[in-house]
Amino acid sequence: MSASYEVRGAVAVITLNNPPVNGLGLATRVAVAAGIEQAVADASVKAIVITGAGKAFSGGADIREFGSPKAIQEPNLLSLIRLCENTPKPVVAAIHTVCMGGGLELALGCHYRVVSPGAQIALPEVKLGLVPGAGGTQRLPRVLGVETALNMIVKGDPVKSEILAALPGQKLFDRVVEGDLLAGACAFALEVADVRPLPLVRNLKAAHPQGDAYFAFARNTVRAVAKHFPAPEKCVDCVEAATKKGIEEGLLFERSIGAGTMGGGISMNFLNAGIPVTVLETQQQALDRGVATIRKNYEAQVKKGKLKPEKYEERMALLTTTLDYEDLKGCDLIIEAVFEEIGVKQAVFERLDAVAKPGAILASNTSTLDVDKIASFTKRPQDVVGMHFFSPANVMKLLEVVRGRATAHDVLATVMKVAKTIKKTAVVSGVCDGFIGNRMIEQYSRQAGFLLEEGCTPAQVDKAVEKFGFAMGPFRMGDLAGNDIGWAIRKRRYVEKPHMRYSKTADLLCEKGRYGQKTGAGWYDYAPGKRDAIPSAEVVKMIEDHRSALGITPRKISDEEIVHRLVYSLVNEAAKILEEGIANKASDVDMVYLTGYGFPLWRGGPLCYADTQGLFNVVQAMKRFARNPHDDADFWQPAPLLAKLAAEGKTFS
């Protein structure tokens, strides 16, 4: 038995049981995680105590698993610590005898720590030439102070619990228990059962009044004592990082050491490749506006020296305009880029079917509509395919190629070749509402709306996501693409999927005519001729009034929650897309987001990012989000594929 679970009154007790020192091997980690989940699900349980059987709380990592896949398999120690931190009921570590290495790091992830006198406390990794790898260098300075923590970390020697407990201002131990530790821990747990918010070591500050001077002194001392051993100096670097970086940055540092516009844009792609283009519009004014936009884009490139004037003229000479469908009868490829409404698409494709020559490929630039249904408007469904360009189409590299049920193999192959010719990154998608990218982004946008209702402003959400590395946040993105597009999609959803809940904030915005940059007002205000997003007092008041009407008291929402709710919504929907065969592989999904949605390149795409975070952690976060009464609990049920991979300790890759 690697860990046992029992309930004492209103307290769940999880006891590590992996002799001789309760090493935190895989089976133990799995059992502890299961115990926490069981306690959270039990309404009669008010608090949780974690302790160790026999003569140790925990001696840390299980040395029998060093170098094996089990050592890092999910839930790894980092994941288990994060699970403790995010548990909605207080978790108390009942420490006795030996609490070292990963055992101490686990205790630091609990909300409270009680201890018996005489317990040996240490982070001994430096003696093995290592740096603590599960947050010890980041959390210990926050509870013991920088100097005491650094001395313990660079020496690795154990210190008696009563000595540490006597230090002025220490926050490592909440209580020293004389006598029966478990009884004392359970009593303490009941005392704090209703205290909120739950205290987290990660939220404490680590600081030193002399800062740089102290760490320079510490490095000089360490170099003199351990000149041929790099680990002690690396420990100094890590503790210094705890004083200068946020907790997540510090943890990463520790681990790194330890281990109308659309049609014109589409046209430019082909003109750039030397392919003649005919642009069809229904009104001369719209046609003139489209050509003017193309000219303006090319002239800007000439002005910047990126395009020679003669090349500009060559490209414009390849462009023909018309108001008559008959002028398209000689085209090999016709791409429709009209308004995103199925009735409009039907009218266009029926006309195209009537005039296009046999064998011509009829492509729709639809971003969400059913390509099979569009194909049914013609007598040649085998020649119909989706070619979803991303705005601005002359800049964005991604092209979603949507294979319909009847799309011929040669048509698909031809379109993929065309994509390469016009220098696009093409990803094949099956038919579903929104395909790969927009099906996922709908969930992302829904979460962004819920965040507004719960207390955020558009600027706060955008800044958090942009700090994470996105090119732009969801609200700036909406203003760029046009908020009326999303409005049209939601109106359709209200009829087709009445059970799907949305924040009404975006509808209220559109009812004010604030469609984005093209109207000079969206989630932000825009000065004439400029794209700078200016926070709007009108929009903030609109959100506050709506929040008040819903009876929601705003709360402070962290950047981490904002990012994870948005990104993990992408991950969960992507898992469903993979399972349904809409996307062929995880890397296709990631490529869609890297090349079409501004996902930070260095994070590798949403599924790659989920892998790096650990799918166990992703699932745990989703379970937390499901408990939020203002969120969509049904959506946050992990997709079967995601749940399966997480349970098996596997990754999308």
Question: Any idea which residues carry the catalytic annotation?
Answer: 105, 125
**What interhelical angle do 559-580 and 458-468 show, nearest 10?**
70
Distance (Å, whole) CA 106 – CA 78: 8
How far apart are alpha carbons 462 and 472 in whole angstroms? 7
Instruction: Pick the closest to residue 103 from 134, 71, 131, 72 (CA basis).
Output: 134
Q: For residues 360 and 523, what is the distance between their CA atoms, to the nearest angstrom?
A: 42
Sequence-separated (6 or more) residues with CB below 8 Å from residue 627: 88, 633
Listed in sequence order, the residues at least 6 apart from 505 whose beta carbon sits closer than 8 Å to its beta carbon are 449, 452, 453, 542, 543, 546
Q: How far is CA 247 from CA 183, 203, 497, in A?
A: 33, 8, 41
Residues 6 or more apart whose Cβ sits within 8 Å of residue 327: 278, 280, 320
Distance (Å) of CA 443 to CA 391, 503, 556, 603: 19, 12, 22, 20
Q: Which amino acid is at 424?
A: K
**CB 346 within 8 Å of CB 318:** no
- Beta-carbon count within 10 A of 142 CB: 25
Buried/exposed 486-509: b ≥16 CB within 10 Å, e otherwise: bbbbbebbeeeeeeeebbbbbbeb
- Measured CA to CA in angstroms, residue 647 lies from 16, 214, 580 at distances of 21, 45, 20
Peptide bond connecting 75 to the previous residue in cis, omega within 30 degrees of 0? yes
Which amino acid belongs to residue 40? V
Interstrand relation of 159-160 and 120-122 (parallel, antiparallel or unpaired): antiparallel
Distance between CA 282 and CA 442 in Å, rounded? 31
